[in-house]
Chain A
Amino acid sequence: MIPLSLNGSSVSVDADPETPLLWVLRDHLAMTGTKFGCGMALCGACTVFIDGKPARSCATPVSAVLGRRITTIEAVGNLRVGKAVQDAWIAESVPQCGYCQSGQVMSATALLSATPEPSDEQIDAAMGGNLCRCATYLRIRAALKRAAKFLAENPPAAPEKP
């Protein structure tokens, strides 16, 4: 059994240590918000946080996350930045088919957590690994900037770790 720290809770899974975290989440833990798009860390649909940093869960064996904090799309809205991003996503009507959007939200949340006022170049660099075949890119950018503005105008009472 492999113990994991997932969204603030302790869980145990019976999986081969080489199983990618993506499939542990989706198949063993029935958490289907994190998506499968390519299996080669090329599309970003599988993005989660490991110790607060974005990672492609399809290319991360579960053995590599022992003792580390995992955050998924299901819980990112509990974070101040994550909630602002999701609210902005809805306000800007970003999703079309929506399949890539869990990964987009995770990458956007990671970006704004590290860089509260990103430039367009920083947005390109941080989000360029998340594919969207519906090409919602313009609205992703607009929602990112909207969330950044909201966060700047509503500073936190205390700092929060993603």
Chain B
Amino acid sequence: MIENVSRREFFKQSGALVLAVFARDAFSQAPAFQPNAFVKVGADSIVTVVVKHLEMGQGTYTGLPTLVAEELDADWSQIRVEGAPADAKRYNHLVWGEAQGTGGSTALANSWLQLRQAGAAARVMLVAAAAERWGVPAAEVTVTRGVVEHAASARKASFGELAASAATQVLPSEPPLKSPEQFAYIGRPVQRTDAKAKSTGAAIYTQDVKLPAMLTAVVLHPPRFGARLATFDGFKARQVPGVVDVVPFTTPATHGIAVLARDYWTAKRGRDALQAEWDESQALKLGSAEIMAEYRRLAATPGRPARKEGDVASALAGAAKRLEASYEFPFLAHAAMEPMNCVVALRPDGCEIWNGEQFQSVDQAAVAKLLGLPASRVRLNMVYAGGSFGRRANPQSDFLLEAAAIAKASGGQAPIKLVWGREDDMRAGYYRPMYFHALQAGLDARGELVAWRHTIVGQSILSGTAFEAMLVKDGIDATSVEGAANLPYAIPNLSVELHSPTLAVPVQWWRSVGSTHTAFATECFLDEVARAAGRDPYALRRALLAGHPRHLATLDLAATQAGWGRPLPAGRVRGLAVHESFGTVVAQVVEMSRLNEAYRLERVVCAVDCGIAVNPNVVAMQMESGIGFGLSAALSGAITLAEGRVVQSNFHDYAVLRMPQMPPIETHIVPSREKPSGVGEPATPVIAPALANALLALRGTPVRALPLSSQGLVLA
């Protein structure tokens, strides 16, 4: 139980607004009007929208409330946001069944009708309350920016004044929704609800949560994947003044030793003083080069079929011209600015967790199982995440289970805040896997692309997880081949095959998942084909995308805005790529220049078809963010293994994009009346191939491995 009142004044003075986020019990009163799981209206006219999707930067805490404010006809200034509790019956992801969580760039698509209906229902009931109070027909009552009015009798009321009465009205089952011409907020650059808190240091992340008597846990993890703790000596750790306990822990996902103290620095000093012996007899001892060599070998053997059109073998054999290429991709770390962390408080009747919570149902079930509780007794408080890029949705609930196990092993009296340092975060695994791609193409005598064979080798992300049954069919992990198996280009003979080798390195999804490697392989190889056929890469794509109007429109918009075809100054070229992921199509044209031996990324023109752009400013922000994230990986992102040990540990050897490297970006949105399709991930896969294609045009040689830094390429 948070000791609200006694600490309130202290926190106000010191600026830590921790308790404001958790204001319930003593602070908050039950809202006057709460017609559904998503909308609360107070007697003070404050409208609180309950958002079931994590805010990790992508804008859910703005886009989803926009849908409510629109149909409710609220004023944007009266909107507040609250994260939903873990309750899969009320807050389930509509596509995932009775499971709650955030991912796949689906928050807006998920909420498009659900939240509009929630806001519209509340509006109907407020209008009914006014009609009843004023004795007028409901059809004559209007709502404009939070003001309910009957113009004919010159009467007005606020939401707060009507809230109690609205709560007694009939809940409409199918409230009418606005048509796009009536939109006041949707389609406009509405101000983000979290901008102020995040600009003033007031926003609360897991890292900032404080509970009375809380202890911070800093952990020692195994030095290699598959190593087991043999013995340890906590004597020196306990000698560090302020260390409270040394606690070994084990979970299904991970194990190690935790040092507990009242503050992070003491716990870290204690952890650094631990002495441990590890049994590494079963540990992975391979290096990245060995792994890639094995993948290359596998690629030359038949894999499982993911797509088959026509007869690729014959078409290749009979082709007038054949090309082949292979592409290599490293492990990638998510490296969110906030290293993984979690707060767990064991209660007599259950447990309470604070986390930048991305995977409620999976986490709730895993923690409940570990602690021997019913899932309903695991309470999850969702706070802001300092980035995630998929990491906080871990299929094994790795860092949550760690925190829960430490809480249990330490006796369960004190709440535990598990804090990973940057090194812990970077070396804990759960990377985007390594991949090897082999491609062959065949051109006929007229230079037409008639055959395309694509072999992919890499770990399955989903095998061994709860998602295997749904997404791994006939040995094909859908996330390994997405972007390749559904290649949109009209090629009469096409095959995609997959090898899913097992490796002891834990892996998971990373922003845009399969497209992070399939887009590069397919879009770069297509440019090599264009070059061999003497075709312009834009014109070739146009010809092959005849059956895909969304791809064509998006590609055309990017090319037109970039001036594709118009002459450029000497030493300057363009490269382009187009790719669909998560239902959204993105095309990018990059301009690169060369001065002596220095290559410079001059600008990026990005076009996106994401259906209705609920907030065009947020769409542009996500295009910039995805491009920056993909560019960072393309330039210098690589987790490498040397004899099984992760080489990298911090930002000095895992270099990420810095401000001077960020190119100017302009975003163009394809006009659409379709429902929104998501923008969190789709820009990420496109920048690397667009960049590589510009380099191909500039240097005449293709990029066949990422990151560029591993190829000796550094951009100015």
Contacts and interface: CB of A to CB of B under 8 A. Distances in A.
Given A23-B263, A40-B650, A131 B201 contact: no
Contacts of A129: 658
B201 A33 contact: yes
A135 interface: yes
A90 B262 CA distance: 35
A2 interface: no
- Please provide the 6 A-B residue pairs with the shortest distance between their CB atoms, ordered closest to farther: A135-B628, A33-B201, A98-B198, A99-B386, A97-B57, A96-B57
Nearest to A124: B660
Please tell me the size bucket of the interface on A. Answer: 35 or more
Interface string A6-48: 0000000000100110010011111111111111101101000
B422 interface: yes
B650 A133 contact: no
Interface stretch (B23-31, B331-339, B524-532): B331-339
Interface of B: 10-11, 14-16, 18, 55-59, 189, 191-192, 194-205, 207-208, 210, 216, 241, 262-266, 335-339, 384-389, 419, 421-422, 617, 621, 624-625, 627-629, 631-632, 650-652, 656-660, 662, 664-665
8 contacts: A16-B266, A27-B216, A39-B421, A72-B201, A97-B57, A98-B197, A124-B659, A131-B656
B651 A38 contact: yes
Contacts of A4: none
Contacts of B191: 90, 93
A123 interface: yes
Given A124-B660, A136-B624, A42 B650 contact: yes
A20 B265 contact: yes
Specify the main secondary structure of chain A where it touches its partner. Answer: loop
B14 A31 contact: yes
B650 A135 contact: no
A42 B652 contact: yes
A95 interface: yes
B628 to A, nearest CB: 2
Contact of A133 (B59, B210, B389): B389
B21 to A, nearest CB: 12
Interface in A64-111: 72-74, 77, 86, 89-90, 93-102, 105
A37 B15 contact: no
B204 A35 contact: no
A34 B15 CA distance: 11
B659 A140 contact: yes
A148 to B, nearest CB: 16
A146 interface: no
Contacts of B202: 33
Nearest to A123: B659
Contacts of A113: none
A65 B443 CA distance: 70
Contacts of A97: 55-57, 198, 336-338, 384-388
B195 A134 contact: no
Contact of B658 (A39, A102, A105, A131): A131
A72 B15 CA distance: 11
Given A95-B192, A98-B57, A42 B651 contact: yes
A134 B625 contact: yes
Contacts of A20: 265
B150 to A, nearest CB: 37
A102 B201 contact: yes
Contacts of B59: 96
Contacts of B337: 35, 37, 43, 45, 97, 99-100, 131-134
B194 A98 contact: yes
B341 to A, nearest CB: 9
Contacts of B632: 133, 135
A81 B442 CA distance: 62
Contact of A43 (B16, B264, B631, B651): B651
* Max count, chain A CB within 10 A of own CB: residue among B191, B336, B659: B659
A53 interface: no
Nearest to A96: B57
Given A40-B422, A90-B199, A98-B57, A32 B18 contact: yes
A27 B218 CA distance: 14
